[in-house]
Amino acid sequence: MRRLFLGLFFIVCSFHGMASAVYDLYSPDRKIHLVIKETGNSICYELSYNGSEIIKQSALGLESTALSFHKGQIVKVVNSTFQESWKPLFGKFSQILNHYNQSVFHIQTDKGLKFNICFRAFNDGVAFRYNLPIQGKIDAIDVTKDLSEYNFCSDFSVRGIDRNIEGSEFEAKPLSQMKFSKLPLLVETPSAWVALNEASLFDFSEAYLVNPMGKISMSIDIDKSACRLPMKTPWRVIQIGATAGKLIESNILVNLNDPCQIKNPSWIKPGKSMWDWRNHGDTINGFVYGINEASYKRLIDFAAANAMAYTLFDAAWYSENGPAFPRDDLDMPGIIKYANAKNVDVLLYVDRHGKGGKSNWNLEQVLQTYKNWGAKGIKYGFLAGEISNRKQFVDTTRSITKLCAKYHMLVTFHDNPIHPGGEERTWPNLIAKEYCHGQQDSRKSFGPSKAVSAPFINGLSGPLDMTNGFYDLDGLQNRQKVDKKGLNSTVVGETARCFVNYSPLLVLPDNGDEYSKKGDLFSFIQQMPNSWDETRVLLGVPGAYIVVARRSGNDWFIGGNTNEEGRNLQIPLSFLGKGDYQLTSFKDGEQAHYITNKLSYSIEKSRADNTMTFKAVMAPGGGFCLICRKIMR
């Protein structure tokens, strides 16, 4: 149901002499207070939460090569409120409330240029964007600067993302020491957790956050963006939550994106996928995994036996002639036919590394070929290496996504892609991104602290393909495509990471032989739904631990991870419905440890109701998983 109300019931305008005006915009629950000011000929904003100031007076505006859109007078304000509930194709919630108060400020500069700034206040944050109409005879401009600022009221603790996403360690540091961050930037304040983010990133440069002068402020950095008028910038988003976990629960980014643009998206299916790449060299009873038909079919057979939707075949499966031409020793059309006969769909890797046919190929022709073969999607690697600026990066990502939709293909981007920003609402075939350090990527492991930081930072932007879920933790270093130092986690911790980091495409990095050795533990992953009715973050501190609960129908799944410290947490089960539940808990063994004893685990069954508390025991670097199934009478 959609409701739009026009009026002045949530915004107050007060004038302070002839030179300034102040406008107050509140979130529907009135906890978030946004102040928009006209001071002289400048427009700025301030932000507070529950009466506590977070962002003090901060500049707004854009500049192009020839025109400036930041100094002027407010000539009109249009106020409204909006409320709807909509159903995503898949995700952390089966129904999403989109409720905000909005003010659109129409501004005229001293040069006679016109533009407006649209502000929206949600219960989980605020957002603003710039809208530029045609300026007389000018119908195209090159935007060179976004002048938006975030002047925080104190030197808060922050965690950001490095230029090379894989290298991000998420160390907490004072804002004044944060010189650069990709989005989002996580900010801890005394009254709330805040994340600076971006949504609806189309036809414009991806933004970075910079602070070269060591202030307690972040500014927007963009590449030159050639834009046709009229135009809209991406939304500048300030997510706000009473806890860090509330930021993970937030739907503000998808709510700021347009509804689905695919006419009939019923062909888009979330699901789990087997994956070959990190298995090369693993030896099971004399069988050696590699790039060959026997290995591929072995992965397909396990996927089919465990009702998995997909199997992904990564790099080196095609010849020097390009991704429409399999290697001579691989009958890829035949392999896909074999998979489809077992109700398993195939995803294929592509990139433009190399010379000749490996780099010079036509994507549309490749997609036509894959469709004829029966494949259902692609994994696109190293797109960043093909482009020269961030505007082109955005445009190319979008054109690939749209072209994949045309041929009913899923797409996931890897190797430092542009950040997600809720676009899965508009283009749900863009099913995930490796906007993170994928486990073992570049043959490097990430440790427990990083594992309990990423959900609160990278994970705020959208679904992540982190390829968690290794089970051969004592023998992993013997494979070809992995960190020879191994992986620092417990087998239960790896299982929990598959759950904590939601992705509609859960790519599993190990093979069926390893999962079958611990089939009772793997049953948690088997039973996990691919989409959820409800998601809650029950407990969590970035860099320390996280506990997530998700509901599917009457049943709840809970999972948690900890950093290098062992941890006992008391978890009230008050979120369960009425009645009794059958609990199956998957726990680290008593002596489990992420370095010295990775494989020890136990499984217990019990009964509980919503008046009880569950004790989650996590070994150092480990985790836990819990299934609560409603007992029907």
Helix (H, G, I), strand (E, B) or coil at 246: helix
Could you give the angle at which helices 332-341 and 363-373 cross, rounded to 10 degrees? 50
Strands (E), 265-319: 271-275, 283-284, 287-288, 310-313, 318-319
pLDDT, position 312: 98
Residue 399: band (very low, low, confident or very high) from pLDDT cuts 50, 70, 90: very high
> 31-50: per-residue pLDDT in tens?
999 999 998 889 999 999 99
Q: What is the pLDDT of residues 136-195, one digit of tens each?
A: 999 999 999 999 999 999 999 999 999 999 889 999 999 999 999 999 999 999 999 999
**CA 510 remoteness from chain centre:** 23
Pairing relation of β-strands 125-132 and 231-232?
A: antiparallel
- What tens digit of pLDDT does each residue of 470-505 get? 999 999 988 999 988 889 999 999 999 999 999 999
Residue 23: pLDDT band with limits 50, 70, 90? very high
d(CA 470, CA 465): 14
Nearest to 545 by CA among 455, 472, 625, 415: 455
Share of the chain above pLDDT 70, in %: 97
Residue 8 has pLDDT above 70, yes or no: no
> What's the Rg (C-alpha) of the chain?
25
Question: Strand, coil or helix: what is 370?
Answer: helix
Strand partners, 122: 125
- Interval 110-127 mean pLDDT: 97
pLDDT at 444: 83
Q: How many residues does the chain have?
A: 633
Structural contact between residues 360 and 324, judged by C-beta atoms closer than 8 angstroms: no
Given a cut of 60, whether residue 10 has pLDDT beyond it is no
CATH superfamily of this structure's domain 541-630:
Golgi alpha-mannosidase II (2.60.40.1180)
**d(Cα 61, Cα 43) in Å, to the nearest integer?**
8
* 460 Cβ neighbours under 8 A, 6+ residues apart: 184, 186, 195, 197, 239, 247, 248, 250, 253
The answer on pLDDT for 18 being more than 50 is no
Asked if pLDDT for residue 626 goes beyond 70, the answer is yes
Pairing of strands 2-6, 72-86: antiparallel
Q: Which residues contact 116 (CB under 8 A, 6 or more apart)?
A: 104, 105, 106, 107, 130, 131
Query: Is the CB of residue 15 less than 8 Å from the CB of residue 98?
Result: no
Average pLDDT of the chain?
95
In three-state secondary structure terms, 473 is: coil
Q: What is the DSSP string of 557-578?
A: EEEEEE-SS-EEEEEE-TTS-S
Q: What is the CATH number of domain 265-530?
A: 3.20.20.70
Pairing of strands 271-275, 173-174: unpaired
Residue 220 has pLDDT above 80, yes or no: yes
HSE of 341 in the Cβ direction (CA atoms, 13 Å)?
8
The residue extents of the domains of the chain are: 2-255, 265-530, 541-630
Alpha helices in 266-410 (DSSP H): 293-305, 332-341, 363-373, 390-406
Class of the CATH domain delimited by 2-255: mainly beta
Question: What is the predicted pLDDT for the residue at 2?
Answer: 52
C-alpha–C-alpha distance, residues 93 and 58, integer Å: 34
Weakest mean pLDDT among 94-103, 343-352, 443-452, 548-557: 443-452
pLDDT of the residue at 524: 98
- Global confidence as pTM: 0.96
Contact 269, 277 (CB under 8 A): no
The tokens describing 157, both together, are: 């603790």
Mean pLDDT of 585-599: 98
Decide: 482 and 440 in contact? Cβ < 8 Å.
yes
pLDDT for the residue numbered 15: 41
Return the residue matching tokens 């007389």: 136
